[in-house]
């Protein structure tokens, strides 16, 4: 199984895509846990970028 990881970008930041080949089989529960961790990280990063954009807009 190949796991494709995409990093979302905002306003021209580099789009990054990696293919990872697991060295050993990954359990479904571990995969779900990893996916949830990734979702949380993406949400946090998006909120941070949105806050930065809002601050920049309000400082005009």
pLDDT at 54 over 90: yes
DSSP 59: T
pLDDT tens digits for range 6-39: 555 555 554 455 555 556 677 888 888 888 998 9
In this predicted model, which residue has the larger pLDDT, 48 or 3?
Answer: 48
As a whole number of Å, the CA-based R_g of the chain is: 16
Give the torsion through C-alpha atoms of 21, 27, 30, 32, to 10 deg: 90
């Amino acid at each position: 199984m190949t796991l494709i990881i995409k990093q979302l970008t905002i306003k021209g930041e580099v789009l990054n895509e990696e293919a990872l080949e697991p060295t050993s089989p990954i359990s479904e529960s571990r995969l779900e846990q990893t996916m949830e961790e990734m979702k949380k990280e993406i949400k946090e990063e998006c909120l941070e970028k949105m806050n930065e954009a809002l601050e920049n807009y309000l400082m005009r």
